[in-house]
């Protein structure tokens, strides 16, 4: 099993197969527009622009589970990201990353890479999972890890064959 076995919902309600990202390095992030970590959108966009032509994909999953910091609908979230941070990487539909309604992809990500001291649950917005070109979840980073700190790991994964 890999991330390619999942389908995610996009803001327009359409389903997108994760298989569409096969052969790419993927950074999966749960995001929020009204969080202290929200400025990380700038770093995520910088990574995306720097590495997208080499095979990096960033997928943002807005989530309102932490302090109700993503209250908007899909259009409001898209507008905020575009106007405030010039985000050009894909945003998925708003999801839950924990609990009974958690998105199946996020359940899988958490099974593949535990957090601090083996915890599975997502603790806050801007938790990041790094996936190699073969669909393997290779790293999990907490919100305090800034996107630019992942550049070296991304470069190594991009250099590896699919």
> Which residues form the catalytic set?
35
Tell me how crowded residue 3 is: count the other CB atoms within 10 A of its CB: 24
| Tokens 């073969």 -> residue | 134
Determine how β-strand 15-17 pairs with β-strand 7-9: antiparallel
Q: Report the C-alpha gap between 91 and 85 in whole angstroms.
A: 13
Tell me which DSSP letter residue 16 carries.
E
- Please answer whether residues 143 and 37 qualify as being in contact, where contact means their C-beta atoms are separated by less than 8 angstroms: yes
3-class SS string, 71-92: CCCHHHHHHHHHHHHCCCCCEC
| Tokens 């009204």 -> residue | 34
Query: What's the token pair of residue 145?
Result: 């890890």
């Amino acid at each position: 099993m890999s991330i390619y076995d999942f389908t995610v919902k996009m803001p327009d309600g359409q389903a997108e197969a994760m298989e569409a990202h096969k052969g790419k390095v993927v950074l999966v992030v749960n995001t929020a527009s009204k969080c202290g970590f929200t400025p990380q959108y700038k770093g995520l966009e910088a990574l995306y622009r720097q590495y997208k032509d080499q095979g990096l994909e960033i997928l943002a999953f807005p989530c309102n589970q932490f302090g109700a910091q993503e209250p908007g609908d899909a259009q409001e979230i898209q507008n905020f990201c575009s106007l405030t941070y010039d985000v050009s990487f894909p945003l998925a539909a708003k999801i839950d990353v924990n609990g009974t309604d958690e998105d199946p992809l996020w359940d899988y990500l958490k099974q593949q890479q535990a957090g601090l001291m083996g915890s599975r649950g997502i603790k806050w917005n801007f938790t990041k999972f790094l996936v190699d070109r073969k669909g393997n979840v290779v790293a999990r980073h907490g919100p305090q890890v800034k996107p630019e700190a992942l550049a070296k790991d991304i470069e190594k994964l991009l250099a590896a064959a699919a």
